[in-house]
Structure 1
Amino acid sequence: MSYCPFFQTLHDETQPVGHFGRGTHYSVLRAPVWHDEAINRLERCAFLDFAIIWDEDHDDRVVDVIMVLYISGLLAPVRYIGERKGTLSVLLAPDVARNWNLGTLEQYRDDINDICQCLEDPWSAKVDSVDVHEHSIIHGSAENVATYLRNIDILWELGVKPKSRP
């Protein structure tokens, strides 16, 4: 399935697979980006592979939010994104969350919250590092969620490619 003309769908699960979470399944999309994971401008286009984590209702309004992030230049740090129970979860590359100063991270969170408030049916937003174990992207134990997300990353090598060189 093509969710957006700007993104290539690399993998798409349209319904729950197995018995994890509340109907958890995922899609992996690729987008051309002109920013690295820390939102620094790149000299050349790169490609971002990221995952949408769906719950049982496969609410594709999350794609509308992703589009706004994309056109705003805010998508590159995202590894996983999903909506569950009216909350958008945005999980960032671990290095980004560690290396950004608190002010930069807070501004990014504010930008995401502002985007979520502009929706017809506003969502709250939670922005965390993917390596934080207390996020709400999937209903499940922190250990099982971390394993599930790590497996997606192992399969798809999410992130900006090629990695920029210093």
Structure 2
Amino acid sequence: MSYCPFFQTLHDETRPVGNLGRGTHYSVLRVPVWHDEFLNRINRCGFLDFAVIWDEDHDDRVIDAIMMLYVGGLLSPIRYIGERKGMLTVILAPNAVRDWDPEALQRYIDDINDVCQCLEDPWSAHVAGIGEDGHSIIHAPPENVALYLKNIDMLWHLGVGPRSQTS
């Protein structure tokens, strides 16, 4: 399935797989970017691979939020994104959370929240790092969620890289 003309769909689960959370499944999308995970300009176009984590209703309005983040230049640090119960959860690259100065991270979080308020149906946002507890991207024990997300990264090597369009 193609969710947006700017995104290449590398993997797409359209319905629940397994028994994690409430109907959890995911898609992996690729998009050209001109910034690294710290939002620094890169010399050559890179490709960001990131995962959309779906719940049972596969609410594709999350794609609208992703599009707004993309055109706003905010997508490069994101590794996982999903909506559950009116909350957009954005999980960032580990280096972004660890290495960004607190003021820059707060500005980024504020920008994400601003985007969520501009949606046709505004959402709250929660921005977290990989492995942090307290986010609600999947309704399941945190250790199971962390393992699920790590497995997706292991399979797809999420992040910004000089990937070819067909790799």
For Structure 1 versus Structure 2, the TM-score category normalised by the shorter chain is: over 0.9
Runs of 4+ in structure 1 over 6 Å off: none
**1:53-132 alignment runs, 5 A limit:** 53-132=53-132
For the residue of structure 2 that corresponds to 1:154, the secondary structure is helix
> How much does 1:120 deviate?
1.7
> How much does 1:124 deviate?
0.2
What is the rounded CA distance, in whole Å, between the counterparts of 1:104 and 1:129 in structure 2? 15
What is the rounded CA distance, in whole Å, between the counterparts of 1:123 and 1:69 in structure 2? 14
Give the match for residue 41 of structure 2: 41
Give the match for residue 145 of structure 1: 145
What is the rounded CA distance, in whole Å, between the counterparts of 2:26 and 2:10 in structure 1? 11
**Contact 2:45 2:162 (8 Å CA) reproduced:** no
Q: Can you list the C-alpha shifts for 1:52-102, whole angstroms capped at 9, x where unaligned?
A: 000000000000010011111100000000000000000000000001111
What is the rounded CA distance, in whole Å, between the counterparts of 1:72 and 1:117 in structure 2? 14
For the residue of structure 1 that corresponds to 2:43, the secondary structure is strand
> How much does 1:121 deviate?
1.3
For the residue of structure 1 that corresponds to 2:34, the secondary structure is strand
For the residue of structure 1 that corresponds to 2:21, the secondary structure is coil
TM-score using structure 1 length: 0.96
> How much does 1:119 deviate?
1.3
What is the rounded CA distance, in whole Å, between the counterparts of 1:91 and 1:143 in structure 2? 15
> How much does 1:162 deviate?
3.0
For the residue of structure 1 that corresponds to 2:122, the secondary structure is coil
Give the match for residue 7 of structure 1: 7
**Contact 2:90 2:128 (8 Å CA) reproduced:** yes
Count of residues in correspondence between the two structures: 163
Give the match for residue 22 of structure 1: 22
> How much does 1:133 deviate?
2.6
What is the rounded CA distance, in whole Å, between the counterparts of 2:47 and 2:133 in structure 1? 27
TM-score using structure 2 length: 0.96
Deviates more, 1:105-114 or 1:126-135: 126-135
Structure 1: unaligned runs, 5 residues or longer = none
What amino acid does structure 2 have at the position aligned with 1:129? Answer: G
Structure 2: unaligned runs, 5 residues or longer = none
